[in-house]
Structure formats: C-alpha cells, structure tokens
Amino acid sequence: MAEEFKEQEELQDDLLAGFFKNEETYEETTAREAEENSFSSQIPRFQMPKNGEVDVRILPLKPGSKQSGWAYQLRRLFMKINVLDANGNPKLKQDGGQAVMQIPVIRVGQAFPGLKDPIDTFRSLLKGEAEAQGNTGLVELMKKNSFEGGIGLNFDSRSVALLYELENKKEGIKIAEFSFSQFKSILEARDTAWRKLQKYDKTCKSPLSSAENARTTTITGKTENKKVSYSFTVSSDDRELQKLALDDAKALVALPDLNDILYVYNRYHYTATLAFLKQLDAKFGYAILEREEMQEVLNAVEEKLPASDTTVFEMKIKDAAAGDANEEPEDENYNIDTLEAAYIAFADSGASDKSQDGLKIRAIMKQFIVDNELEVTYTRTTTNEQMFDALIAAFDGDAEPVDETEAEPEPENEPEPEVNEPEPETEPEEETPPPTRRTATSGRPGVRRK
C-alpha cells in the first residue's frame, strides 16, 4: 500500500514538474506585463455570480502552451464592410446613409504563425503608394479609426482563462472571460496576496494560478439598482492552498490549447477580408490587390484553408419585402455574434416591436435564451430592447431581471430592417482589454453605437 502511494506521489510530482517549468516568478510576471503594456470549443462557459460568492481555482496554462502564465489575451480587429442589396447595389439605411457591417477577425499570424497578414500588407502598400504620390490626406486618414471618420483599424480585447468551481468540481474545467476592470482587479488581488507570501518565501510562485502554490480565488457579485459589480480576492492563507491534483492536471493536459480555441481563422474570415480590401481598393484606386506582393500573401493564406471549409462571407442582404410576407423564415442557428448582428439590423431600421420584423427578432431571441439555458426574465410587455439587454447581460454573466406590465402589441406593417453601423472603440494598448459588457447601446466588446 505504501509503495502504491509512493508511486502515485511520484507520478503526480513528474506531471506537475511540467507546470513548474511554465510558471513565472513575481519579477518575471511583472516584467512580462510591463513589456506587453509598452469558441468552437466544447469547454463549458463559466458564469459570473450575480449575487453572492463563488470560490474558484484559476488554472495555469498547460505545459507546451505558446505562452506562460494563466490567461490569453484575445485581440480582434473589426472590418467595416459596405452592405449590398440582393441586386448587388449599395444598401442604404433609412436616413440615406450607406449600410455597413462590422466583421471581427484575428490577425492571420495568430492562426498560422509565419504568414503575413493580408490587411497589414494591404495597409503597408497603400501607405507607401500614398506617400509616393504625395497624398498626405490619405496618409492622415489611415491614422484615424472608423469612429473618427478614418480607415484605421479598430480592436477589441479580452482576457480568457480556465478554472473550476471548488464547490462544483464535478462540472469540470470551464472557460472564463474577464473584462478590463475584472482582469485588472484580479491582478491587483493576486499581487496583494503575492506580496504577503513573499515576506516568508521570496521564491514563491503565483498564488493565483501556480500548479503548486495557488490559493482560492473568490469572486463576489453584488447587484444594486439592477447593476452588477464584481470584486476579487486571492487568498494568502495556507489552509486554502489548492495544489493541482493529479486528476485535475490530467484533465487540463487533455484539453485543447486555448491558443487553438481562440485563434481561429477560416474561409469565412478570408472571404470577408477580400470583400473588405476590394472595397478599399476600389475607393482609393491604387490597385493594391493586383500587386505581386499582395497576391503572394493572399495565396499563402488560401493554401492554409482546408478544402472542407465551405464557409463564405456574403455581403448581400436579402430583401425580405421581395418575398412572400407570410413565408416562414429559413432555419438558422444563431450564435451570439450573428444574433447581435440581427438585432442591430432590426434596431437601426426604425421598425417597431409590433412589426413582422420585430416579432421575428423577438422569436429568435427567445429561442436563443432556451438553447443556451440563459436565466432571462421577461414578460409579454418586455420590449425587444429590454429583452436583448437582458439576454446579453445573462450571456456575459451580468444578468438583470426585466419586468413590465403592459400587453404585447400586435404586428403591423413596418419597413424592413437595415444593417446598423456600430462604431468601434479606438485601438487599446496591448495589455488593456476593454469591457466585455455588451448592451443594445454599447454593441459588442470594443464597439460603440451612436
């Protein structure tokens, strides 16, 4: 029995040794963060508590990960693409402006290391041509983001980590996303505990995520006036030591790398990028896409995409008025991004909740709530905007109850919805991810609506 126990202990020590090599000292962590500052996955999603406390164990990145520490920074850029109608003509909003859509995409190099990014290459060639032609106006325009009326790129960022709930370990490892304020609060809580521990052991590893030295992290949610605030505490108490158990280490190693989960680039992103660049090329007239260097970059990316990937970006929007008004909509599986795009299109159209389009988007939201088992409270009188806000809040783990008393309106004829033009935030600093809180007025992370 003693020999069996010793064998298990040696196996655990060997497995944990791989994690120790991937960990950082306090000095290494602060140095890395200072330098950085100058879900196709089946992993379940962690839901932040609306009220009360949840004790979690933040997990380290597994051995072999492409970076050390405990979280990946997911950064995406948004391509502003003009929308066409079913006939290929520019689609206009009710105010007469061009309808556009914002398509998020990661840089190609994140998915395919070593490859040049088509957008970066295009911008470099365009800037060089503009400077050669003395087009200072275009050079200045490239420095401004879309919100400022320019053609600069717009980014959103978030921190993504793995954890498990101490009281619900049977639910397994979960994936968690943290906003800017949440991420910074976690780092502050970690450093507070780390400094206390360093008084007794200058070489101690992170109390937040170390395989051997991590303690309990407590996440506290508090709702006041329908607004949820969060606080984070990392314990420095040895009685709350959460050394990574052998079974937990095996489960973590068996999971796909976060890098492979977050950094996905498929044919949809590629075709959307082509549409985006073709519109820019036509606008400025420098024929950048015809350049040999540009073609080489595009061909290299396309060769990386599997033939089985048939996803294609479509910039044409079907005109619902052209079909049978009583025709049932085609079945479509909505994720959070496509749902939000559908709602924004409805909201920007000016159509009322009574309209056919209003009832359609409401039905889509109801089905999304059911499919994703979201805790959203609504009544017949809840407006579409209120339902959307509650849905997004629940999806982000920041739910707010909705309760109204008036009767739901009957449908009436309204104009079809147009595609909205969400305005993104300016590009943040490398290690300053903006909030992931999303509402009807704020749009997706890093996107600001007028």
Higher pLDDT, 302 or 449: 302
Assess contact for 206 and 214: CB atoms under 8 A: yes
Confidence check: pLDDT of 298 > 90: yes
Confidence of residue 211 (pLDDT cuts 50, 70, 90): very high
DSSP 31: H
Work out the number of other CB atoms within 10 angstroms of the CB of residue 343: 25
Confidence at 18, pLDDT banded by 50, 70, 90:
low
Average pLDDT over residues 136-158: 70
At which residue do the structure tokens 């004790």 appear? 55
Q: At what angle do helices 118-132 and 267-284 cross, to 10 degrees?
A: 10
3-state secondary structure 217-272: EEEEEEEECCEEEEEEEECCCHHHECCCCHHHHHHHHHCCCHHHHHCCCCHHHHHH
Mean pLDDT, the chain, integer: 76
* CA 377 to the chain's CA centroid: 25
Least confident among 194-198, 297-301, 319-323, 397-401: 319-323
**Average pLDDT of span 217-223:** 93
Q: Residue ranges per domain, the chain?
A: 1-319, 320-415
Confidence (pLDDT) at 163: 95
pLDDT at 333: 60
Give residue 397's pLDDT: 63
Question: Using H for helix, E for strand and C for coil, what is the string for 358-400?
Answer: HHHHHHHHHHHHHHCCCCCCCCCCCCHHHHHHHHHHHHCCCCC
- C-alpha to C-alpha distance for 449 and 1, rounded to whole angstroms: 65
DSSP 140-208: HHHHSBGGGTS-B-EEEEEEEEEEEEGGGGGG--EEEEE-HHHHHHHHHHHHHHHHHHHTT-TT---TT
448 neighbors 442 (Cβ within 8 angstroms): yes
Instruction: Provide the CB-side half-sphere exposure for 91 (13 A, CA).
Output: 24
3-state class percentages of the chain: helix first, strand second, coil last, to nearest 5? 40, 15, 40
Is the pLDDT at 234 greater than 60, yes or no? yes
Reported as a single tens digit per residue, the pLDDT across 369-424 is 877 778 787 777 888 988 888 888 788 764 444 433 333 333 333 333 333 333 33
- Whether 224 shows a pLDDT value over 80: the answer reads yes
pLDDT digits (tens, 9 = 90+) for 310-355: 888 876 654 433 333 333 333 456 778 778 878 877 876 777 888 8
Q: Does the structure show a pLDDT above 50 at 445?
A: no
The answer to whether the pTM exceeds 0.75 is: no
Q: Is the pLDDT of residue 26 over 80?
A: no
Reported as type and span, the H/E element at residue 33 is helix 26-37
